Chain A
Amino acid sequence: MIFDLNKIAAGEPHRGYDVCIAGAGVAGITLAIDLASRGRRVLLLEGGDLEFTETSQNTYKGPIIGRNYFDLDFARLRYLGGASNHWAGWCRPLDAWDFEGHAHIPNSGWPIAKADLDRHFERASRILEIPAEYNDKPVEDSDNAFTQFEFQFSPPVRFGEKYLEELKSSTRIDLFVNANLTDIRLTEATDRVTEFQCSNYTDRAAKHSFTGAAFVLAMGGIEIPRMMLNFRSQATAGIGNAHDLVGRYFMDHFHASGGVYAARRKDWPYSANEIHFAPTPEFMARQKIANAGLRAGPLTDARRALINRAKHSLFCNEDEVRGFARSFFEGSCPADVFTGGYLRVASEQQPNPSSRVSLSDDTDKFGLRRPALDWQISALDRHTIKHMVIGFGRYIASRKYGNVKMAEWLLDDGDPVPQVGEDRWLGAGFHHMGTTRMASTPDKGVVDENCGVFGLDNLFIAGSSVFPTCGHANPTLPIVQLTLRLGEHLAGKIKT
């Protein structure tokens, strides 16, 4: 059933739920549907409406205080279905390597293994409407440097649209829209959650209470830490923040232009469409880099004209350069002989406690402090992109397939890293990860291996904020896998 909290007056608590979930995006909807299918009574609270509203979206604003980032109300959508209303549908599972800790990547590794998510791979793929297979293959002649890998593309599934009818007709799920989580109440001993408190837009001061056996935060990787840090009436440092870890280790995928490649058409063994290369574990260990996906793809006509002009000026114009530079391509210079295009790298970021979501002094319409994002890039992130490009350049040059021209900023480690808005590509991936990281012990993370918040018996987190290490894969498929795993865990904990 769907209810509009704007039309309901605050009164007695809404009781009797097995699981209360705040946030009806990818994770929240997946979890609600899964738990309902297991016979549990589920409450789903959505701060926005069924459709986009300015009033709700405004709550997502917040200052960027570190490197440039997308405006926070542009990088997310705040209504039923969440950011799945504008995601692009690129899907890929995490690699086994991503779960292991690596000495050259401080704070890396998960307390669980890829096999723990694999059990949910096929079902997650069905939910996202993608094939459950990836034809990755080793690049045999790359000296064990690269794997050529695939993405799968979701249509993309818009979770609000896809599940609207099911949410409407479900007798086990109560979805409240315009229901903004504005506080979490704890027992006196502060070891369990007793209720979620919500506000609507018509009487913002009035608090609507919802109680249940277990509670789940599923509001996305920026909003979850923001709310946990805001709720201090009983936990002075914020919910689950005894070790000052909530909001820290913010990661996105660092997307940067790595340069261009050029090849004579007859020598180029790959497709002229975008191809994808990832480093092998051996290459990552050898170069001491993090995981990354290199995309080599065709330029648009305008950009192709530009690179051809650039090649002409390099190879054909200046007297001084002409002689030897022409021989790069054995004397041939005409544009139609070449293929080539961009090199882009989407890199895993080193988990860094200084890269973080904290609270700004501005407040939203509910009096809650807005998030302030201080996104940081580390030397390892830069090093990863640089060595992916060098490795690829070496590979295609030594095999006589073609040549890479490295992006200017990679040539000098003193040069600034291109910012979001400056880089020819995106700069970042809109993937908000790491801010309530999973760990084995509370001094290292915010949630345990079952996504349960340390120190609180019945509070859980669903979404990419629990990723302690993010690999180079886009996060939504792993989010769905982890959420199905959480559903299984909660169903085991809360018997009907």
Chain B
Amino acid sequence: MMKRRSFISLLAGALVGLRALFGARPASAARGDDDDLLLVNGWIVRRSQVSRKKQE
């Protein structure tokens, strides 16, 4: 449970970071198939790269 909560808060933190960085606009610099990018610990990643664990 504890683990789960901290994982979610980390993800939420990442999303806040992403908004600060990219602004409200969707990814537009290099639009690809997967438009949904996140900033996680400084890494620019696709949502699918971090969401798999959530589905487990």
Check A323–B32 contact: CB distance below 8 A. Answer: no
Check A398–B32 contact: CB distance below 8 A. Answer: yes
Check A390–B10 contact: CB distance below 8 A. Answer: no
Check A398–B35 contact: CB distance below 8 A. Answer: yes
Check B32–A143 contact: CB distance below 8 A. Answer: yes
**Bound Cα distance from A323 to B51, whole angstroms:** 10
Among B7, B29, B49, B53, the residue within 8 A (CB) of A391 is: B29
Check A397–B44 contact: CB distance below 8 A. Answer: yes
User: In whole Å, how far is A424's beta carbon from the nearest beta carbon of chain B?
Assistant: 15
Residue from B6, B28, B33, B51 with most neighbouring chain A CB atoms (10 Å)? B28
A456 interface contact, C-beta 8 A: no
Check B29–A387 contact: CB distance below 8 A. Answer: yes
Check A324–B29 contact: CB distance below 8 A. Answer: no
Check B45–A328 contact: CB distance below 8 A. Answer: yes
Check A403–B50 contact: CB distance below 8 A. Answer: no
Check A397–B42 contact: CB distance below 8 A. Answer: no
**Bound Cα distance from A171 to B43, whole angstroms:** 63
Check A395–B30 contact: CB distance below 8 A. Answer: yes
Check B29–A287 contact: CB distance below 8 A. Answer: yes
**Bound Cα distance from A230 to B5, whole angstroms:** 67
Residue from B11, B27, B30, B46 with most neighbouring chain A CB atoms (10 Å)? B30
Contacts of B53 in A (CB 8 A): 323-324, 326-327
Residue from B43, B45, B46, B53 with most neighbouring chain A CB atoms (10 Å)? B43
Contacts of B37 in A (CB 8 A): 393-394, 397-398
Q: A328-B50, A393-B44, A398-B37 are in contact. Are A320 and B3 (CB under 8 A)?
A: yes
A86 interface contact, C-beta 8 A: no
**Bound Cα distance from A259 to B44, whole angstroms:** 11
Q: Which stretch (A65-73, A221-229, A405-413, A447-455) binds chain B?
A: A405-413
A283 interface contact, C-beta 8 A: yes
Contacts of A283 in B (CB 8 A): 29
User: How many CB-defined contacts (below 8 Å) exist between A and B?
Assistant: 111
A206 interface contact, C-beta 8 A: no
Q: A328-B43, A398-B34 are in contact. Are A390 and B54 (CB under 8 A)?
A: no
Among B44, B46, B50, B52, the residue within 8 A (CB) of A390 is: B44
Q: How large is the interface on A (under 10, 10 to 19, 20 to 34, 35 or more residues)?
A: 35 or more
Q: A397-B37, A398-B33, A406-B44 are in contact. Are A286 and B28 (CB under 8 A)?
A: yes
**Bound Cα distance from A42 to B27, whole angstroms:** 58
Check B31–A143 contact: CB distance below 8 A. Answer: yes
A399 interface contact, C-beta 8 A: yes
Determine the residue in chain A with the shortest Cβ distance to B2.
A320
Contacts of B51 in A (CB 8 A): 324, 327
**Bound Cα distance from A394 to B30, whole angstroms:** 6
Q: How large is the interface on B (under 10, 10 to 19, 20 to 34, 35 or more residues)?
A: 20 to 34
Among B11, B27, B39, the residue within 8 A (CB) of A324 is: B11
Contacts of A411 in B (CB 8 A): 17, 21, 39, 42
Contacts of A387 in B (CB 8 A): 29
Check A327–B29 contact: CB distance below 8 A. Answer: no
Determine the residue in chain A with the shortest Cβ distance to B31.
A143
Contacts of A146 in B (CB 8 A): 30
Check A323–B35 contact: CB distance below 8 A. Answer: no
**Mask of A295-325 contacts with B, CB within 8 angstroms, 1/0:** 0000000000000000000100001110111
A193 interface contact, C-beta 8 A: no
Determine the residue in chain A with the shortest Cβ distance to B41.
A314
Contacts of B54 in A (CB 8 A): 324
A404 interface contact, C-beta 8 A: yes
Contacts of B56 in A (CB 8 A): 323
**Bound Cα distance from A143 to B50, whole angstroms:** 24
List B7-41 residues whose CB lies under 8 Å from chain A: 7, 10-11, 17, 21-22, 27-35, 37, 39-41
A188 interface contact, C-beta 8 A: no
Among A320, A393, A404, the residue within 8 A (CB) of B6 is: A320
**Bound Cα distance from A399 to B45, whole angstroms:** 11
Check B45–A397 contact: CB distance below 8 A. Answer: yes
11 contacts between A and B (CB under 8 A): A143-B31, A320-B7, A328-B50, A391-B30, A394-B30, A394-B37, A397-B37, A398-B30, A398-B32, A398-B35, A405-B42
